[in-house]
Amino acid sequence: MEKINTGDTAWLLASAALVMLMTPALGFFYGGLVRRKNVLATIMHSFFILCLISVQWVLWGYSLAFGPDIGGVIGGLDWAGLKGVGQEPSPYAPTVPALAFMVFQMMFAVITPALITGAFAERKRFKAFVVFTLLWATLVYDPVAHWVWGGGWLGKGLGALDFAGGTVVHITSGVSALVAALVLGRRKGYGAEAMDPHDATMTVLGASLLWFGWFGFNAGSALASGGLAANAFVVTNTSRSHRHPAMSTSRRPSSSALARACSATPRYRSPGACASMTRSTYSAFTAWAAPGARLRPGSSPPSR
């Protein structure tokens, strides 16, 4: 058994803090795109999710996602309430404490439902938002995280690779955001009153903080402070420099970009526009994830 490495542990904890910063940054990103009267509520979506999912993850989310496998579908409740999760090496990252791995994964669980909030910005009551977030995290995120990362049927069974959340974070949030936008429909008054973004400066601030946090998001996914982390760090900055802030750097085209485009920016309100963007995103994804393809740190989508 490998011993805990202090350098790996320090980097993973720092990365967890960087990913945590991305959630309020997302609130600023979305907040600048909505109308002035809804900016506080939009920002509060992200801040509240940070609190809510942090508690959910400790009580049962982590155990469902990374606990002992049950039929390749879900983790058991053996680690509910972090029972047995302490300072010993993690089975998923043997050079860091189990608690460090848990808190790093917590920040992924937090930001994923926060990505969806842009799809129903200005159009959902806060109580409904809370219930939706808790149920979605438990019934969608936790099982998919187990399928891919926790020894489930996708990762262990089919050999699916997901270095930094391309499947677990971006596909799940992107598809869910699209469904939410189509179900809720257009804003009231769309086309009859002005719905211009309220503060582009706030959006740029959010995008800048997201860029900063992405170093922990991607490079931290190496789960160690070695060459793989350095490679992911450089690729993250390089790809950030020439891609729109709404796009992901997690090894494949980000379907969560759909959440941003079909959500907070009013001109993409029509289901037709969302459906058109879905087809484009799906085509790009299928071209990238062709049979036999293998994801690797440092890869990028093919140019058109």
Tokens of 300: 């990028």
| Residue 300 belongs to some domain of the structure | no
| Residue 261 belongs to some domain of the structure | yes
In the three-class reduction of DSSP (H, G, I as helix; E, B as strand; rest coil), residue 125 is classed as coil
Structural domains in the chain (count): 1
CATH of the domain at 199: 1.10.3430.10
With beta carbons less than 8 A apart as the criterion, state whether 232 and 164 touch: yes
- Give CA–CA dist 227/230, Å, rounded: 5
Q: Are strands 69-70 and 74-75 parallel, antiparallel or unpaired?
A: antiparallel
| Residue 220 belongs to some domain of the structure | yes
Helix, strand counts (H, E) of the chain: 11, 2
With beta carbons less than 8 A apart as the criterion, state whether 114 and 30 touch: no
| Mean pLDDT for the stretch of residues 38-66 | 95
| Residue 46 belongs to some domain of the structure | yes
Tens-place pLDDT, residues 80-108: 999 999 999 999 999 999 999 999 999 99
Higher pLDDT, 232 or 276: 232
Tens-place pLDDT, residues 101-157: 999 999 999 999 999 998 988 888 899 999 999 999 999 999 999 999 999 999 988
| Residue 301 belongs to some domain of the structure | no
Contacts for 64 with CB less than 8 Å, ≥ 6 apart: 74, 75, 77, 138, 142, 143, 146
Question: Residue 185's pLDDT band (boundaries 50, 70, 90)?
Answer: confident
Higher pLDDT, 1 or 55: 55
- Give CA–CA dist 69/147, Å, rounded: 9
| Residue 255 belongs to some domain of the structure | yes
| Residue 55 belongs to some domain of the structure | yes
Tens-place pLDDT, residues 144-157: 999 999 999 999 88
Average pLDDT, the chain: 81
Q: Which residue has the tokens 């907070």?
A: 264
- Residue of 57, 32, 219, 39 lying closest to 133 (CA atoms): 57
With beta carbons less than 8 A apart as the criterion, state whether 65 and 73 touch: no
| Residue 293 belongs to some domain of the structure | no
Question: Which residue range(s) make up the domain with 183?
Answer: 6-288
Q: Reply yes or no on whether the pLDDT at 22 is more than 70.
A: yes
